Amino acid sequence: MSADPIIRLEKVAKSYGGINALEEADFELFPGEIHALAGENGAGKSTLCKLIAGVIAPTAGAVWIDGRQVTLSAPKDASRLGISMVYQETSLVPQLTVAQNMVLGRERMFNSVRKVRNAARQVLQRLNFKVDPSQLAGSLSTAKRQMVEIARAVLNEARVIILDEPTAALTPEETDHLFDLMKSLQRSGVAMIFISHALEEALNHADRISVLRNGRLTVTGPARDFDRNRLISSMIGSELKQDTSAAKAVRAVHSALPVLRVENIRMGSMVNNMSFSVFPGQVTGIAGLIGSGRSEVAKVIMGHTKRNFGGGRIWFEGREVRYNVPAQAIADGIAYVSEDRKFDGFFETMSIADNIGLGWLAKFGRRRRLAPLSRMRQISQDWEKRLSIRCTDVDQLVLHLSGGNQQKVVIAKSLAQEPKLVIFDEPTRGVDVGAIAEIRQIVRNFAESGAGVILISSYLPEILDLSDRILVAKSGTIVAEFARNEATAERILHAAIH
Ligand SMILES: Nc1ncnc2c1ncn2[C@@H]1O[C@H](COP(=O)(O)OP(=O)(O)OP(=O)(O)O)[C@@H](O)[C@H]1O
Ligand SMILES: [Mg+2]
């Protein structure tokens, strides 16, 4: 590591109306360094990154780049100095193509659409990202949108690339590939900051780790000086209490009658004759690789994707149903915690209270006018406490919450519907270790109260830990089913792949 940092922050602070998102942070980034940021939801990680990327301006302190003090008043100031950021919530313009997004703000350097497309294609190929440059950004999966943002930074010839939770929406293979890519960028001198709630990623792939807690940068050191326990205790300021779920016995099926049954569901090329049942009082886990049709079948049940619906039958509480819009499913008592909160999880320009309140109102369906509105605020406050949503109060806009806390609002909004069946699609994506334990507890309690739960997760330990039954999806069908006590990671993976 060379002696001079590219970036140096000196006592940098950011406050929002008296709330300190970041306090007096001293931070250095050296050329060719991979630097991980760890910390709980709301600790200030994204804030630190946005200050470096010129997205927000500090309320105090000094920023030095290449030894010169600078004022970054817009992302283009940072980008001119070679600093690019890949955001936690994607920043692509959905109506533009991949290639147009990649050159956004620098179109003038390319004098034809074809040049733009070729430049984009070259970078995407070099990075081994299978994304078509002429596709609209809005039609891409979360993982692919992330790839486009990384490719944009590489196309910008950035010297510093900041990645805010880049692996949250990636498969294990895509994650490995990303870290290989980061190592190769590192060899060409690029410095990188990445945020991750997967502690192993920081421990295994970073040169140095900085930990934030409550807006304070509490410790920075070489990754080899950390292990999981030290990292957790510096994040939360104490030891994490042991998760006792694994010791739980399998919950018995309450009755032989399923709360939900789907038969031979087909949708486009993603879902091929999928059939399964979900019983009340149990967590039914659906494991499988990305693209195995798990989220798609959830969307079919919810009435989210009418267009490609290819047939099949759905029974909810013994009655055959076919929803045309999610509102109908919600009014019947089905809730869906989407994997993609930015697109269909919440209304970001509304407050926490209004979002949770909307969820609660939805359960009244067409009798909404009869809802006792005076209780709405109390209900939001109860959820805010139950999920430890970090905020000033429930009137705060969701837009102003950290990513993990936004995810908690999505969950609260769905559960406030008091659904009889809830579909959790990657519920702990982007939330910190402490909140993961809380959310898992909520999933379990919810099943214990007699409701049906579908848990879709790409993280096998989560499926194994929470589910009473585990279904394995592959190429749009259910190929295997295990009871909790017969399921192992090896058996599930074998079924998912072979
Ligand atoms: N625009 C804003 N207005 C008010 N408060 C904000 C704003 N942006 C962030 N905050 C607050 O600053 C704190 C730090 O947020 P930040 O996004 O940096 O957290 P984080 O460490 O990235 O968390 P996560 O892991 O959940 O993404 C949070 O309490 C958040 O609510
Ligand atoms: Mg964040």
Q: Which amino acid is at 384?
A: E
pLDDT, greater one: 341 or 192? 192
Which of 40, 41, 47 has most ligand 1 atoms within 8 Å of its beta carbon, as the pocket-test mutant?
Answer: 47
Structure confidence at residue 361 as a pLDDT band (50, 70, 90): confident
The arrangement of secondary structure in 245-497, i.e. its CATH architecture, is 3-Layer(aba) Sandwich (3.40)
Q: How far is the CA of 42 from the centre of ligand 1 (A)?
A: 5
Most confident of 20-24, 124-128, 149-153, 309-313: 20-24
Structure confidence at residue 255 as a pLDDT band (50, 70, 90): low
Q: Looking at the predicted structure, is the pLDDT value of residue 347 above 70?
A: yes
Q: How far is the CA of 406 from the centre of ligand 1 (A)?
A: 10
pLDDT at position 259, please? 95
CA distances from 65 to 37, 72, 140 (A): 19, 10, 35
Q: How far is the CA of 88 from the centre of ligand 2 (A)?
A: 6
Q: Looking at the predicted structure, is the pLDDT value of residue 264 above 90?
A: yes
Q: Whose CA is nearest to atom 3 of ligand 1?
A: 400
User: In this predicted model, what pLDDT tens digit does every residue of 196-229 receive, in sequence order?
Assistant: 988 999 999 999 999 999 999 999 999 999 998 8
Q: Which atom of ligand 1 is nearest to the CA of 56?
A: 1
Q: Which atom of ligand 1 is nearest to the CA of 40?
A: 25
Structure confidence at residue 237 as a pLDDT band (50, 70, 90): confident
User: In this predicted model, what pLDDT tens digit does every residue of 294-342 receive, in sequence order?
Assistant: 988 999 999 987 677 888 999 999 999 999 988 899 889 999 998 776 6
Q: Which atom of ligand 1 is nearest to the CA of 406?
A: 26
Number of CB atoms found within 10 A of residue 498's CB: 8
Q: Whose CA is nearest to atom 1 of ligand 1?
A: 400
pLDDT at position 29, please? 98
User: Could you say which ligand is closest to the alpha carbon of residue 400?
Assistant: 1
Q: What percent of the chain has pLDDT over 70?
A: 94
Alpha-carbon distance 294 to 425, whole Å?
Answer: 9
Q: Looking at the predicted structure, is the pLDDT value of residue 428 above 70?
A: yes
| Surface-to-core class of residue 372, CB atoms within 10 Å of its CB (0-12 exposed, 13-18 middle, 19+ buried) | exposed
Average pLDDT of the residues in 382-398: 89
Q: Is 32 helix (H, G, I), strand (E, B) or coil?
A: coil
Q: How far is the CA of 401 from the centre of ligand 1 (A)?
A: 5
Contact 264/275 with Cβ under 8 angstroms?
A: yes
User: In this predicted model, what pLDDT tens digit does every residue of 120-130 receive, in sequence order?
Assistant: 999 999 888 88
Contact 160/29 with Cβ under 8 angstroms?
A: yes
Average pLDDT of the residues in 73-93: 88
Average pLDDT of the residues in 471-487: 92
Q: Looking at the predicted structure, is the pLDDT value of residue 240 above 60?
A: no
Residues near ligand 1 (Cβ within 6 A): 16, 19, 21, 39, 41-47, 88, 390, 400-405, 432
Query: What is the pTM for the complete model shown?
Result: 0.76
Structure confidence at residue 170 as a pLDDT band (50, 70, 90): confident
Alpha-carbon distance 368 to 477, whole Å?
Answer: 38
R_g (Cα) of the chain, nearest Å: 23
pLDDT, greater one: 387 or 225? 225
Residue whose structure tokens are 């909140």: 435
Alpha-carbon distance 134 to 396, whole Å?
Answer: 39
Most confident of 112-116, 157-161, 256-260: 157-161
Most confident of 84-98, 303-317, 461-475: 461-475
Most confident of 6-20, 86-100, 230-244: 6-20
Strand partners for 14 = 22
Asked if the domains at 7-236 and 245-497 fall in one CATH topology, the answer is yes
Average pLDDT of the residues in 2-9: 87
Packing angle, helices 433-448 and 228-236, rounded to 10: 90
Low-confidence winner among 154-168, 343-357, 362-376 (lowest mean pLDDT): 362-376
pLDDT at position 252, please? 56
Q: Which atom of ligand 1 is nearest to the CA of 47?
A: 18
Strand partners for 221 = 209
Q: How far is the CA of 57 from the centre of ligand 2 (A)?
A: 17
Alpha-carbon distance 455 to 424, whole Å?
Answer: 5
Mean pLDDT of the chain: 88
Alpha-carbon distance 131 to 459, whole Å?
Answer: 24
Q: Looking at the predicted structure, is the pLDDT value of residue 413 above 80?
A: yes
Low-confidence winner among 41-50, 313-322, 426-435, 451-460 (lowest mean pLDDT): 426-435
Q: Looking at the predicted structure, is the pLDDT value of residue 169 above 80?
A: no
Could you tell me how many residues make up the chain? 498
In this structure, what DSSP letter does residue 44 have? S
Alpha-carbon distance 255 to 347, whole Å?
Answer: 37
pLDDT at position 335, please? 92
> Could you tell me whether strands 60-65 and 68-70 are parallel, antiparallel, or unpaired per DSSP bridges?
antiparallel
Which backbone phi and psi does 355 adopt, to 5 degrees?
A: -65, -50
Q: Looking at the predicted structure, is the pLDDT value of residue 403 above 80?
A: yes
Which distant-in-sequence residues (6+ apart) come within 8 Å of 97 by Cβ? 117, 133, 134, 135, 136, 137
The domain segmentation of the chain, as residue ranges, is: 7-236, 245-497
| Surface-to-core class of residue 229, CB atoms within 10 Å of its CB (0-12 exposed, 13-18 middle, 19+ buried) | exposed
Domain 7-236 has CATH 3.40.50.300: yes
Structure confidence at residue 343 as a pLDDT band (50, 70, 90): low
Q: Looking at the predicted structure, is the pLDDT value of residue 470 above 90?
A: yes
Q: Which atom of ligand 1 is nearest to the CA of 44?
A: 18
Strand partners for 452 = 421
Structure confidence at residue 241 as a pLDDT band (50, 70, 90): low
Cα torsion for 109, 115, 121, 124, to the nearest 10°? 0
Contact 223/235 with Cβ under 8 angstroms?
A: no
Structure confidence at residue 172 as a pLDDT band (50, 70, 90): confident
pLDDT at position 490, please? 86
List the structure tokens of 80.
């001119």
